[in-house]
Amino acid sequence: MTAIKHALQRDLFTPQDERLLGVVHIGKAGGKKKKAIICASVTTERPVEVFISKIKRAEKGDTYKKQKVWHLKELKVVNGKEVGGKESTEFDLQFEKNFKWSATSVGEKHNFLSCLWKLCHRYLPRQQKPAFSNVPQSILEVAVAGGDTTRGGSTAGADDDSLEDYQALTEQEETDLERMITECEFAISDAEAFTNSLSKDLSVLDGQNIHSIMGSEAQVNSLMVLLDNALAEVSQIESRLDEYDHMVGGIATQMGQMKNQESFIQITNKNHTRLLEQLDTLVVQLDLSKGHVKALRESDLRTDSGIEACTSAAEALQEAMEVELPKGLSKLNAVKEQQKLFHDLRQKFAARIFEHLNNVFMRQGSDQPGASLAKQASGLKLPKHFPYHRDLLPYRQLILWLKVADKTKYTQLSTTYTQSLNKLYTQEIKDFMATAKQRFIQQAILDVNSGSGSLQSTSHSTLSLAVPMSSEQKSRQKTLSKKLSSSIRNLSGSQQSLSKEKRKIFGSTQSLAVKAVGKKLRFGHKKRTLGGSRESLATSDFELSDREKFSSTFREVLNELEPTCQDEEVFLTKFFHLNVESADTMMPGGSDDEEDDTDQGIASRKKYQEAQVTKEIRRMMTEIFSVVESELLSLVAFGEDLDPLNSLNMLVVIGQRVSQAQQVNDGSFLAKMLGNCLIEVKRNFDNFIKNKVRMVQESHVSKGKKCGILPFVQDFEDFVGLAESIFRDSGRRTDIDKAYSTLIWAVFETIERVSGDSQKTPAEVVMFENYHHLLNCLSSLKIAALENEKKQVRVRYNENFNSYVTTMLGRPLEKLSNFFEGVKQVIDGGLRPEEVGFQLKYSKQELRKCIKEYSGKEVKKGLESVYHKIVKHTSEADHMLLRVVWQDMQKEFIRQYKDFEDLIAKCYAGSQIKLEFTIDDVLNYFSDIALAQ
């Protein structure tokens, strides 16, 4: 503390001719770190002035600077905050405002308050002394005992002496002291020698002094004479000064009175000047021109010039009402009257704005632009609202003023806007969605009636099977088609009548058309399943065209809805100033005095405000476009009813848009609405996959017919091909890969289950044919997610294929096979190969008998029988697989042939025994049999 006090005295107070008397380290009440120093100082010149200073340490270095300085007479209250004898480091000093601080220790605080008490009692008159409250009486008693201005000059002088700081040594004194200490270093070790040395020096100095005095006796006498003369002159001067003092004694009193009067006049003039300046400023700030008042009361809000004048006047009014008045001026009658005028103007103008814009919004909500229907007739388009937005944007600044001036009317106006626009958008979007559905149904009805596409190219009986209808239904369908065509041709009529006609026709046509298209698709699937044709539900040209039309229409719908919603959201944000910070967007529980100014606090407030703005925008968008989600879900259900495979296209289309919204962290209404639709589409997709798995699991084969490629295997191939064309490079790849895995394992299980049901096709053939088909499918499509399943298919194919080849070929040379098996057993029993021929059972004669039974003709005949069985077992459509089976049987036959030759050469060497046919003969037999079929 002493070092800091010395540094402060040297750096801050000595240059300003002040003495530092009291110091206390303080921080903000409730804080932990020291932030500043409070000092009490007095001037060294008369009259003495006392100051209280707040000192802060510079951020870099050890320098200090004064942050704020108060005069002691500005101090009004000192609150020690020690109630009931409980000590506390906190204390308050009240100047123009109350400052709350906390000292580093109770003792330091007490010393500082005691210093303040002494300074107040010494230098302030009784009427200007501050009030000391909640300060221990012992501190005040000690301070009073230390000095009191009422006890006379001696006491005051003693107190003044006690406040003096010590006098530091000069540089010369420090040098002499250091030299003396250096010369006397031996005093500690040898005190007697040191004493003798001092005595000698003293004797020498005394002798020198005596000689000097004796030598200067004449000079001393002369000096004494001069002193006597000087004393005489001084006596004369003192007597003359006494006369002067007597003469000016009366004048001093008069001059003191004149000085006090001049000071009072200067203070009065200064106060008058400040008052006039304050009043001039107040008049200027609270003044509102007549032009602005007239604009607020009479300007036409329907013209651009009127809107501009009202905007300027409203801003001027708001500035005048937000003027911060000094304390007490708000009680002036003139100020009260002016504020009342401003308040009345604000209320009446807010009512004018509200009434005008409310009428504009109501007209907009009831407006039915006829041009929109013409656009819908020529193409799938939503009416654009740019003209509305363009006409409303000039009122943007007035809406901001209303948001600040009258929050209630602003809220009512925004509610009116959302309700009015909801009516308009509801009508437009419903007509838009009806047109989208009508467009597809119309094409479907035209396809059924005109016979276009692959299904319409079939015979009349086939068409009747696909869409069975009675004569009455056919007549009704033709009538509805004519009405639909007539309605479409008359799209240029009024919107109201057309909308009713469309809804009437659509209500009666939708169910019939959807059922017709659905039956058409199901018939195509049934025909492929029963006949085993390559044409399937997923690949027929007619059905692909239908799905492409729906997918294209669905994309057009989203391409129209997205910019419409985005444009309206941008307009709402701009027009209603939803991105402007207001009291509603402040964090709950926060205040200006307690704001967290750290980077984390600022980021937290900003994040909260953005969330509140997004929430408000989403709320208004939801109120305006309340029909969008239901209509979009209705379109999703419509597409699902037409064809469950439409859910694949919808999943990709909506998933792509939701993924884009997530990448930009878009919390808009459109993103949320599309997210809900994506959930519904994903649910439809999952149900579609579940139904497909269930259909696979419930599949059966006819016991009296050849199996071939199972229908659900072919359907899986078609589904994967279609899905790959839809999901290629899609962000929803995970969904389809998961569906692939679920579906293919159901296919595996069902193949294993139904493989033994057919009486005409062995189980191994059913499995290796279908696994071979799946393997070709997966190899051509190259789906990364099905690599493990692909390996599993290859393993199952190889197992069943090898098992079938081994079983079907068996042992075509059975007696030879039995003979040589016995030979192998004998050799394995320890008999040498060259000794086998001496065994009676395995002699050369027995071997020749066996060989004679298998001539080339007999072998070929046996192979032909095997080939005919393979042809009956395998599918007629897959000749390539038949050749593969036949080639593997050829390899197996040649392997057995070579084993026989090896054993003959090893056990019957030199006997000239050979089979009656060669390997070349075997190759010719297999080739001739394959070519002959």
Q: Residues with Cβ < 8 Å from 266, sequence gap 6 or more?
A: none
| Max avg pLDDT among 421-435, 464-478, 846-860 | 421-435
Comparison of pLDDT for 135 and 325, the residue scoring more: 135
User: pLDDT-derived band of residue 667, with 50, 70 and 90 as boundaries?
Assistant: low
For 565-596, give one letter per residue: b (16+ CB within 10 A) or e: beebbebbbebbbbeeeeeebbeeeeeeeeee
The H-or-E segment that residue 499 falls in is helix 495-531
Q: Residues with Cβ < 8 Å from 355, sequence gap 6 or more?
A: none
Q: Tell me the mean pLDDT in the region 410-437.
A: 89
Residues forming beta bridges with residue 66, ordered by sequence position = 55
Q: Tell me the mean pLDDT in the region 224-239.
A: 89
Measured CA to CA, the distance from residue 569 to residue 575 in angstroms comes to 10
- Which phi and psi (to 5°) does residue 500 adopt? -65, -40
**Cα Rg, the chain, nearest whole Å:** 56
Measured CA to CA, the distance from residue 136 to residue 145 in angstroms comes to 15
Measured CA to CA, the distance from residue 811 to residue 893 in angstroms comes to 8
Measured CA to CA, the distance from residue 182 to residue 198 in angstroms comes to 14
- 41-85 confidence digits (pLDDT tens): 999 888 889 999 999 887 777 788 888 999 999 999 999 888 877
> Percent of the chain scored above 90 by pLDDT?
11
∠738-655-422 over CA atoms, to 5°? 145
User: For residue 690, what pLDDT is reported?
Assistant: 92
Tokens 């016979």 -> residue: 451
Q: Are 628 and 673 in contact (CB under 8 A)?
A: yes
Measured CA to CA, the distance from residue 354 to residue 411 in angstroms comes to 10
Structure tokens at 754: 């139904």
Q: At residue 184, what is the residue type?
A: C
User: For residue 531, what pLDDT is reported?
Assistant: 33
Judged against a pLDDT cut of 80, whether residue 583 lies above it is answered with: no
Indicate the SS3 state at residue 424. Answer: helix
Structure tokens at 353: 């704005």
- Which phi and psi (to 5°) does residue 84 adopt? 70, 25
Structure tokens at 84: 């009931």
Is the overall model pTM greater than 0.85, yes or no?
no
User: For residue 809, what pLDDT is reported?
Assistant: 64
- 431-456 confidence digits (pLDDT tens): 888 888 887 777 666 655 554 443 33
∠262-264-269 over CA atoms, to 5°? 95
Indicate the SS3 state at residue 103. Answer: strand
User: pLDDT-derived band of residue 375, with 50, 70 and 90 as boundaries?
Assistant: very low
> Percent of the chain scored above 70 by pLDDT?
75
Count of residues in the chain: 933
The answer to which of 96-100, 275-279, 653-657 has the lowest mean pLDDT is 275-279
Tokens 């046919």 -> residue: 917
User: For residue 188, what pLDDT is reported?
Assistant: 63
Within 10 angstroms of residue 603's Cβ, the number of other Cβ atoms is 10
Give the CA-trace dihedral at 337, 338, 340, 343, to 10 degrees. 180
- 508-518 confidence digits (pLDDT tens): 444 444 444 44
Structure tokens at 802: 């090898």
- 721-762 confidence digits (pLDDT tens): 888 888 887 888 889 889 989 999 999 888 888 887 776 777
Short-list 487, 625, 669, 636, CA closest to 553: 636
Question: What are the Cα distances from residue 305, in Å, to 345, 361, 847?
Answer: 20, 21, 123
Measured CA to CA, the distance from residue 905 to residue 352 in angstroms comes to 120
